[in-house]
Amino acid sequence: MKKGLLITAFGLLINSGFAAEFMEFGAKDFLQEDYKTSNWLFEMGYSSLPYEVVMPVYDGSYDKVKAKEDLSLSGLNLGFGGQIYFGAGFSSTIKIVGTHYRAFEDVTAKAAEDIDLDLVKLDFTHEVTTAEASGSLDYLIETSYFGVQPFVAFAVGVGESKTERDYDYDGLSGGDNPNPEIYDVTSKEKFNYNKITLGLNFISKIGITSFFSVSQYSMVKTDREIKGKFTTQAQQTPQRVDSESEDLNEDSSMTVASVGFGYLF
């Protein structure tokens, strides 16, 4: 959330101060009357995504994995398209958007504050990449200083998710859990989605925009591949957990919030 606010503030700052020098490509002569013309659009934003991760269940001494777990990712999206002006403040924006989300966790567990013995290492990385085409219906409200443009957008897209969890416990001779443990699993998923978005653009007189939006995703996971192995205290021989599911058809939905800024030229 803090990052979102930071991005918004950052966008507004650019709107107000540094617009003339911002991204030295494209036309610099966007005028207020260009509100009511068709323009190209470049935009960059920040999104927060809750994603349901599916992994093999694990009950280790110092790491537990549930079969399904909602994890939060944040990502950068880049979009490019065109805004077609119909008249009377109405326009439509057609664009393609690519987004890369990432979350990570890097935990080192030492025996105790007074014993510098590394016992557990956990590396967790989750990445989601999406690409979509969207079209929106926009309505422009002009003020003396900038344009305010509420919009509703529809999009279809495809995406991939990759989750890697690497847990390594060295074991502790004489302790409650003497044997080493590992959980080294990678899960990959492919999915299709469609979404509806409600949002608001703020357009400065020089074509810099900032926006925030909320999107409701309807997602169908089509493919899942899991590879890896684990050991536990009781089972020291690594157990493989390889599986591949095509035509998965798993439905899920999620809500994504985005903020960002863009450039009309």
User: What residue ranges bind another protein (CB under 8 A)?
Assistant: 3, 6-7, 18, 21-24, 44, 46, 62, 72-76, 102-117, 119-120, 172-177
Helical (H) or strand (E) element with 31:
none
Of the two residues 6 and 141, which places its CB atom closer to another protein in the complex?
Answer: 6
**C-alpha–C-alpha distance, residues 61 and 176, integer Å:** 9
2 by DSSP, 3-state: which? helix
15 CB contacts (<8 Å, ≥6 apart)? 146, 202, 204, 208, 210, 261
How many CB atoms neighbour CB 251 within 10 A?
9
Least Å distance between CB 168 and another protein? Answer: 14
Least Å distance between CB 63 and another protein? Answer: 12
In one-letter notation, the amino acid at residue 177 is N
Of the two residues 7 and 241, which places its CB atom closer to another protein in the complex?
Answer: 7
Least Å distance between CB 108 and another protein? Answer: 5
Of the two residues 102 and 188, which places its CB atom closer to another protein in the complex?
Answer: 102
Least Å distance between CB 135 and another protein? Answer: 26
Cβ-contact 104, 125 below 8 angstroms: yes
Of the two residues 21 and 33, which places its CB atom closer to another protein in the complex?
Answer: 21
What residues pair up with 209 in beta bridges, in sequence order? Answer: 203, 262
Of the two residues 106 and 247, which places its CB atom closer to another protein in the complex?
Answer: 106
Least Å distance between CB 119 and another protein? Answer: 6
